[in-house]
Structure 1
């Protein structure tokens, strides 16, 4: 696309350079030959150059490729071939005007615009006079239209000012204004159009100087006369501008364009130098790339051959593996069929074994129940034997004590009999002594009294021993009767023992009330672990003797809970039984 545009631009540039198309109308006026006749663009050099550059560089899709290429060629032609007309044409006309004599000129003088050879105020400015003013109520000053109002009025009339400043003197609004235009060629063109419009309307500078006959505005371009005028208007012009002729302005613009062109040429040369370096580098890189491409092709060719050989080997290996897999698949299918038949047989046997397993499990449960019952009965019998043995040992010890006591009583009985014999002897002696009392005297009487006292004491002791002996005999018989009665009761209880023995686990909490309470309160699914933790915490609390969980509260719900806990504690583990069948 860009190559086609560049080629078309070159061909059109050659056509313009040959002079087949009209571009330069006069020494200062140019036109665009590519615009339609009804929209033919005519203007100054700068206007046509801006128009051609704008259309040529436009990115709008409405502009065709031909239109862009033709305007690019026009811009190139203006820059390269007609740039000197922007400056040299005016200077040549000035020289021609000064060199001509009246004889050479004849009766027909050279036609030119006087304003092109006089000095104007730059930046381009126009002068507005006869602005309506009014005196204030106090009569000390004058007022009139402001600068923005005047600028809007000029814009409505088709002019293009950038600003309007009113001139004020010591009495206020002086009725004069300064119209400012752009600094470039467009501003000069707008200023000239502004001047010619008022001159054509009979409201130019000459008309104002000849005497104004109406109240309308008069306007002209500010020149040297206005610049050096000794009034407020001249003072404002001197503060904000300089005097400059159009030829000087054109030369300055040409110098600027020349500098720009030089900079562009330097940039072009730099880019061409870089382009040459890039071309050299490109050629070197192309040679190196060609060499590397050849090397790569050789390596790729060797790699492809190696890869082909490996692929062939892998294909052969895969075919062998596939054949082996097919053989193994056939073998596995035959084995699967055998296993299916075997599975059916095992299923039948499993059904039979399941029935037998249930029977065996039932028998095992019965045997376990019988074994547990027998074990518990053996434990109870062992405990009973141990208890009977302890009772027998106690009974034996008591019998030994009783035998010892009986032996002692027998010895005492012998002593009693001896004492009785001695008493009889003493009685006989006493009777004898009574007979001889009269003969013996007082000493014998004293001896008799002493013997009588000893005899009474001995008889009392003998009676006490007889009573103690009778008590021991009664106690022995009573203990023997109790032992025999306990033996008979134990034997009868062992014979009438129940088939189920319940083991009570004292001191362990029941988990069921905790689970129900937490399920009512929290309504969650994973409450078992939480309930176990709470139960363990309660068990730890119950181990502490200083823990008092009960409080006296007036609420009925709390009192109900306290009663429930008290009942639970008074009857702990009422459901914690493990029945062994």
Structure 2
């Protein structure tokens, strides 16, 4: 299995030690195979490499080298190889011990062992298994006898005495033979070998017995004999040694033939190499000769080219000097002609330019004069209209006052007549003709006065309507002046436009400069100013209280308001005064909407500017523009 298919993203060098635990667990669980069925070792993380058959020492060196010192491998590949090195050192350390064992250990009793028939592949037998765990006997036995490197353990149930028997499989090489022999010697040393088992069958004990499987076991009845006959065969050690020798001789002969062929191929390659080397030497000599000739020819060509260029430059320099001399002569003649022509041309152009400038100046003065005349006429007309409207308003007010006095006088006379009539009705005789006549005259006079009063009230209502219309016209004129004079009115003049209800920012900037650094003061001042401007817009905040002044209710500023009191304590009198002034302006100009309103303002006298003052400023502004144009 190739690990590269799982390598979606790399890791950093610092995560290698932590990440190697994951592939190590996968190696332990068997996901990656290191040891093949024939006992050879391979690197599961280099599946694409040609070499797949390693010795233990070589594979450990390969894994450690890639994991610690390889510069062309990624961090994840290093982690995988470090995990392989850990697995070899921890879980496959037995492979190193097996390699150190002799290939063919000398038998203890060569006469007997060379001719004894053993079950091959090498197999051990364990009987009388009683007290071991029943759920995983094979695993338990593999762990218990792991030092003998068993490949597998098969268990069988003995139906006669209900005990468990087992067959232990070893490698089919000489290392497996040695392990099986050690396995048998261990049981013999504890007097639990085959002889002890056969002699003690009549009085069996609770211990387990084991031995190396031989011919009598191969031919025995029962499940173990059937398994041995099915999986193995009987062989003597001398037969195996002879087969190994024959196989080794065959391999040596084949290797010798391959070596001879390889040497022959190497000789051919060496001969071809010598031929190529000699041919290359001749080619290099030819190349050097051609290169030398090319350089010589190149030097000659360069020298000729430099000489030719030098000659051309000399000729060009002579021609340039001749051309420059003739050019100077022509320039002198041309300058003399131009000087004579320019004298008359300059005088003519100067006269033409003076005439055009004079015409332009006259036109500009004429246009400015006309524009000034129109402006003066418009201003005078506005002043006259303003004067006429004010006189009409004053006359209307005086007329209204006179009519009001006349009305009050008529009402008093009517009431007096009504009183006299009532008195005459109560005191006079109804049959007296003179009294009746007097009462009729008084009733007629009363009716006449009532009619005069009604006519007076009608005229008074008409005058009130005209006065309201005039006031509306004046307000409309003020609005038009506010909208149209934003560009004309300068910011530092006595007459200007003020936003009523807008807080003055100067106290805020001065206070913040004293408390905050220079770069932060303006930001803090803007934040505080915006906060209090929003507070002024809040209709729920109304810092006024109603008191009785001369018997009349009047709204004044509430000095106990929490917000204003905390503002004054925290930021001082100047900011407090600026906020209160803005609130009073909003309460006067826009108490319901609570948003700022533009107004014509006399900044010098700190009051609302009259239309007369604004028009006078416009006239002076127009005169200054006229002076600038002239």
Q: TM-score, normalised by structure 1?
A: 0.37
Larger Rg: 1
Q: TM-score, normalised by structure 2?
A: 0.34
